[in-house]
Amino acid sequence: MKRYSAFAVAREAMTYHQGWERAWRSPEPRDAYEVIVIGAGGHGLATAYYLGREHGIKNVAVIEKGWLGGGNTGRNTTIIRSNYLQDPSAAIYEKARALYEDLSQDLNYNIMFSPRGVMMVAQTHHEVRGYQRTAHANALQGVTTEFITPERVKELCPIIEINGPRYPVLGALWQARGGTARHDAVAWGYARKCSDMGMDIIQKTEVTGIRQKNGVVTGVETSRGPINCKKLCIVVAGHSSQLAEMAGFRLPIESVALQALVSEPIKPCMDVVVMANTVHGYLSQSDKGEMVIGGGTDGFNNYTQRGSFHHIEETVRALTETFPMLARLKMLRQWGGIVDMTGDRSPILSTTPLGNTFVNCGWGTGGFKAIPGSGFAMAELVARGEPGPLAAAFSLGRFTEGRFIDESVAAGVAH
């Protein structure tokens, strides 16, 4: 695989850029693999990548029903932060944030990581207490955050209205090293590296069944025929419960749509990320100038990937009180993603009742920010058959043992 660099661009320019090779191969599936990962989104590709890089397991297939990165990885609002309350959450999200900082160099692919800072504004006294508590917890966890004053909020984000009649800004939890990245590029960069290691990324191939013998997985049935494997990793976000049913077990998750939209592009006016959980909205500005707007999850279970009028009504109406300038903008496009929600709003990285089968799901609205850390932890679990320190607390067993990891506040709009 050719390395991307300024010299490579200059060299290819001499031949009118006719010499670039495909970023990843599109092979026919083989009869068997050591590991099959179902789901070619960010988490699935990261799992495959760290299996190869950290554990030397490269006989891997990543199977995707649609196209690479076409699920939630390409349908989110790209926020990266690690200011969570509970210790296990802070550990895995901080691992992800730290990996994001060097991911472009690691993958030799520009993911456009932008550590512009993330603030979660407090607009009620209850939120003030909650965020101050989180700031103290983060200090003990080694995660750098601080609770800032309304004046500091206004200094960092001049377009915000801090004296709103219903939702005044009383302060904010500020993580200066949080930010955003290009979601598509994250998936493409991991895919390119996986392909270079000899892994097979098999797109437009639906898994229709999971084969097993004596309680241990032996392979999968797909729309392109059966494929054998020694280990199986299910990483399909909102469709996790459907794959679990094929494997013969149930998951404590529900699938709902999370919607987002972008405005028409405008000149730069905001260089931070703002989350306003009281009004269920968050806002940032993309490199193209679009205002990227997200809100809360739908109030009913569904598998839709489209936008709806009620989302515009609820989210934009609320956000215009905190950001009045939004009222002057036109919507450019709107979409939805299928998120998988657990009762405690924390993920599941776990072994399952089916032998040599592992599941990574339940990230809810926080999946993108966790991709590198999730893949790193999941690769360790698949390679060793037991969780490492990052994944240990997120087992399926916590729901029967009462070891909940309650992130209903720190998960932002997911509550």
Q: Are residues 228 and 285 in the same domain?
A: no
Domain match, 259 and 333 both: yes
Is residue 228 in some structural domain? yes
pLDDT at residue 351 greater than cutoff 70: yes
Q: Which of 145, 92, 96, 86 minimizes the C-alpha distance to 119?
A: 145
Q: Does residue 222 lie within any of the structural domains?
A: yes
Asked which of 297, 318, 341 is the last residue of a domain, the reply is 341
5 within some domain:
no
Distance CA 177, CA 182 (A): 16
Per-residue confidence band for 318, with pLDDT thresholds at 50, 70 and 90: confident
Tens digit of each residue's pLDDT (9 = 90 or more) over 33-68: 999 999 999 999 999 999 999 999 999 999 999 999
Number of domains making up the chain: 2
Residue 149's CATH number:
3.30.9.10
Other CB atoms within 10 Å distance of the CB of residue 30: 12
Alpha-carbon 27 to chain mean position = 27
312-330 average pLDDT score:
89
Residue 300 has a pLDDT of: 86
Q: State whether 332 and 358 are in the same domain.
A: no
Q: Map residue 307 onto helix, strand or coil.
A: coil
State the Cα–Cα distance between residues 172 and 122, nearest whole angstrom.
5
Tell me: do 271 and 409 sit in the same domain: no
At which of 320, 341, 362 does a domain end? Answer: 341
At residue 163, the pLDDT reads 94
Same domain, 403 and 264: no
Model confidence pLDDT, tens digit, residues 352-376 = 999 999 999 999 988 999 999 999 9
Say whether pLDDT at 10 is over 60: yes
What would the two tokens of residue 145 be?
A: 């955050």
Report pLDDT for 162: 95
The average pLDDT across 220-245 equals 97
Neighbours of 146 (CB within 10 A): 16
Q: Answer yes or no: is pLDDT of 412 > 60.
A: no
Looking at the structure, tell me whether residues 405 and 306 fall in a common domain: no
Question: Which of 295, 319, 276, 285 lies closest to 131, judged by CA?
Answer: 276
Q: Identify whether 58 is part of a domain.
A: yes
Contact predicate 78/292, CB 8 Å: yes
Measuring CA to CA, which residue among 225, 263, 277, 291 is closest to residue 415? 277
Q: Inform me whether the pLDDT recorded for 413 exceeds 60.
A: no
Paired tokens of 9? 């661009």
Is residue 247 located within the same domain as residue 265? no
| Domain final residue pick, 289, 320, 341 | 341
pLDDT of residue 252: 95
Reading the block at residue 130, the tokens are 């909650």
Identify whether 87 is part of a domain: no
112's torsion region: left (phi>0), alpha (psi -120 to 50) or beta? Answer: left
Q: What is the mean pLDDT of residues 88-101?
A: 97
Amino acid making up residue 138? N
pLDDT at residue 415, rounded to an integer? 41
Domain match, 286 and 216 both: no
Nearest to 197 by CA among 69, 55, 38: 55
Query: Is residue 376 situated within a structural domain?
Result: yes
Q: Is residue 285 part of a domain?
A: yes
Q: Rounded to the nearest 5°, which phi and psi values hold at 226?
A: -75, 145
| 278 plus 328 within the same structural domain | yes
Q: What percent of the chain has pLDDT over 70?
A: 98
- Tens of pLDDT, residue by residue over 242-283, are 999 999 999 999 999 999 999 999 999 999 999 998 888 899
Report pLDDT for 414.
45
Domain that holds residue 296: 115-179+255-341
**Does residue 283 sit in the same domain as residue 324?**
yes
The answer on 330 and 266 residing in a single domain is yes
Same domain for 163 and 265: yes
Output the domain CATH number for residue 217.
3.50.50.60
| Residue 95 belongs to some domain of the structure | no
**pTM of this prediction?**
0.95
Q: Residue 183 has what pLDDT?
A: 94
Q: Which tokens is 92 given?
A: 């895995």
